[in-house]
Chains A and B, each alone.
Chain A
């Protein structure tokens, strides 16, 4: 039962990663591509993380994976802002 849930969660996660990549290819400019990348990949990573959690050997190991997710969220938010800011400045000048 739990294994099926894990398979489902990871599959959905992979699906959202795919969406993120498809978004980069299809969307017209830097900003819209950033939207696709941040939203879809973060959700994808969250789902893959949830799917992996039950297979981990201990609570601290599980928390470590959650910590990775949070750090990647933080770095993705900051990197997105920096890219968007630079692109907006380039556009203005």
Chain B
């Protein structure tokens, strides 16, 4: 398991080197030692984060998450465009508190980062098991959207996806 993890990370860094040097083979005299060093550092740093063994990144879920993300980004962009261009500028900004059902710290952190790129929401503060979101329009039905994203992230980190949306608390 550990060996698999190390070799996967090493492959990732070698791939990164390949991308950065645009496939120049002669550069690998520097590239291979660099990739090995990066893997070692990644292992050292990663050890501190791994508080919960049950939650590890699921490579097969990455494309699924990516499609979810791209779809939502499109909606987010068009939503902002519509609000910006309308002369009346339909905004009803406010703060809501969203209780997190994700378990591990990396998953929560990832959710907080991703949610700022999703339609109508922006993470403004983090608590232990909730996030304070700034929303562009408090009339939007955000709970369903947020739950869909949270479920995707749960699958991405190998956690059981939450079933029902929590209630959003208005105000900060």
Contacts and interface: CB of A to CB of B under 8 A. Distances in A.
Interface of A: 15-16, 19-20, 22-23, 26-29, 31-32, 34-36, 38-40, 42-44, 46, 58-61, 63-64, 67, 73-74, 76-78, 80-81, 84-85, 87-88, 92
Nearest to A92: B172
Contact of B77 (A29, A44, A73): A44
A65 to B, nearest CB: 10
B80 A39 contact: yes
Interface string B108-148: 00001110110110111100000010101000000000000
Interface of B: 16, 18-23, 70, 73-74, 76-77, 79-81, 83-85, 89, 91, 93, 95, 112-114, 116-117, 119-120, 122-125, 132, 134, 136, 172
A35 B136 contact: yes
B79 A39 contact: yes
Contact of A85 (B21, B119, B125): B125
Contacts of A58: 22-23
Contact of A36 (B70, B84, B114, B132): B84
Contacts, number: 112
Given A26-B84, A31-B93, A39-B117, A60 B22 contact: yes
B124 A84 contact: yes
